[in-house]
């Protein structure tokens, strides 16, 4: 009886309506990205940037990400509610990408982070990135939990936790464990195909 309960199939993990659409973001999405970041609650903003940053730094960071990184946005209607970034190039080893995630505070724990990580895994595999690096504050249980779901082993380093997701393994886990909800690969905005190589500030 106990074992049966233990191995009961889990409910579908995505509880999102069909109104959520994913698409790649480019330079034209600067205002939407900035508004999304400013809408984060204080703790979420701090977790996203591992501290506080100035508006000037933030504007430069966002512009650079949209120009150089792979950035995927999740829209509810015309409202940008979550963003995933994959940074490559510069000081980052070839074949690796550094990730970052932000889910609007009111949208947390509804499966958006999972959907975005799955989309980022697909984008990584299409761009010869075999390892996604997740670096977050050691107290950020949400991000650590999300990364572990896709096979990351989070390691503690000073006040940071760093994990690596093997992209092939992550995709296999996504296919095996997660609801088979087929989000189409987000199309690049016309004329604004972000190059894969980029460096992180
Ligand atoms: C981290 C973050 C992206 C997760 O997004 P999300 O949409 O809430 O994640 P999901 O709903 O897909 O949850 C996926 C898994 O993450 C983990 N998780 C999410 N929220 C959690 C929480 N508050 N506490 C512990 N684990 C949590 C769980 O393992 C969860 O799986 P489960 O629901 O089956 O237990 C989101 O919380 C966020 O944007 N936080 C603020 C910014 C940030 O910290 N970014 C990361 C550093 S770059």
pLDDT tens for the chain, 201 residues long, are 333 334 433 332 334 567 899 999 999 999 999 999 999 999 999 999 999 999 999 999 999 999 999 999 999 999 999 999 999 999 999 999 999 999 999 999 999 999 999 999 999 999 999 999 999 999 999 999 999 999 999 998 888 999 999 999 999 999 986 555 545 455 554 444 443 333 222
* CA nearest to 17, candidates 181, 175, 180, 142: 181
For residue 9, what are its two tokens?
Answer: 């199939």
Under 8 Å between Cβ of 198 and 89: yes
What pLDDT is recorded for position 176? 83
Which amino acid residue places its CA nearest to atom 41 of ligand 1? 44
Which amino acid residue places its CA nearest to atom 21 of ligand 1? 142
Nearest ligand 1 atom, CA 146: 16
State in Å: Cα 109 to ligand 1 middle: 6
What pLDDT is recorded for position 19? 82
For residue 15, what are its two tokens?
Answer: 């509880």
* CA nearest to 103, candidates 77, 129, 127, 76: 76
Instruction: List the alpha helices (DSSP H) in 1-108.
Output: 2-6, 30-39, 42-49, 55-68
What pLDDT is recorded for position 7? 41
User: What residues line ligand 1, using a CB cutoff of 6 Å?
Assistant: 13, 44, 47-48, 100-103, 108-114, 136, 140-143, 145-146, 149
What domains lie within the chain, and their CATH numbers?
Answer: 18-177 (3.40.630.30)
Nearest ligand 1 atom, CA 141: 25
What pLDDT is recorded for position 157? 82
State in Å: Cα 190 to ligand 1 middle: 31
Choosing from 100, 145, 178, 181 the residue with most ligand 1 atoms within 8 A of its CB, the one to mutate for a pocket test is 145
What pLDDT is recorded for position 42? 97
State in Å: Cα 110 to ligand 1 middle: 9
* CA nearest to 111, candidates 46, 35, 17: 17
For residue 141, what are its two tokens?
Answer: 């249980």
Name the residue with tokens 């947390």.
108
Nearest ligand 1 atom, CA 43: 41
CA dihedral 35, 41, 42, 46 (to 10 degrees): -70
Distance separating alpha carbons of residues 110 and 82, to the nearest angstrom: 11
* CA nearest to 174, candidates 116, 134, 105: 116
CA dihedral 111, 112, 113, 115 (to 10 degrees): 90
pTM for the full predicted model: 0.84
């Amino acid at each position: 009886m106990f074992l049966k309960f233990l191995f009961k199939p889990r409910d579908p993990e995505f509880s999102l309506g069909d109104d959520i659409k994913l698409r790649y973001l480019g330079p034209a999405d600067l205002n939407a990205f900035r508004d999304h970041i400013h809408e984060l609650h204080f703790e979420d903003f701090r977790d996203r940037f591992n501290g506080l940053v100035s508006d000037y730094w933030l504007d430069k960071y966002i512009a650079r990400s949209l120009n150089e990184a792979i950035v995927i946005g999740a829209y509810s209607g015309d409202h940008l509610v979550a963003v995933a970034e994959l940074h490559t190039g510069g000081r980052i080893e070839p074949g690796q990408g550094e990730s970052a995630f932000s889910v609007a505070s009111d949208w947390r724990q509804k499966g958006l982070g999972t959907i975005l990580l799955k989309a980022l895994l697909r984008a990584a595999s299409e761009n010869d990135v075999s390892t996604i690096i997740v670096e977050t504050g050691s107290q950020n249980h949400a991000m650590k939990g999300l990364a572990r779901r896709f096979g990351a082993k989070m390691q503690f380093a000073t006040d940071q936790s760093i994990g690596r997701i093997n992209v092939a393994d992550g995709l296999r886990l996504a296919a095996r464990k997660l609801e088979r909800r087929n989000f189409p690969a987000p199309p690049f905005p016309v004329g604004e195909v972000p190059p894969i190589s980029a460096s992180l500030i």
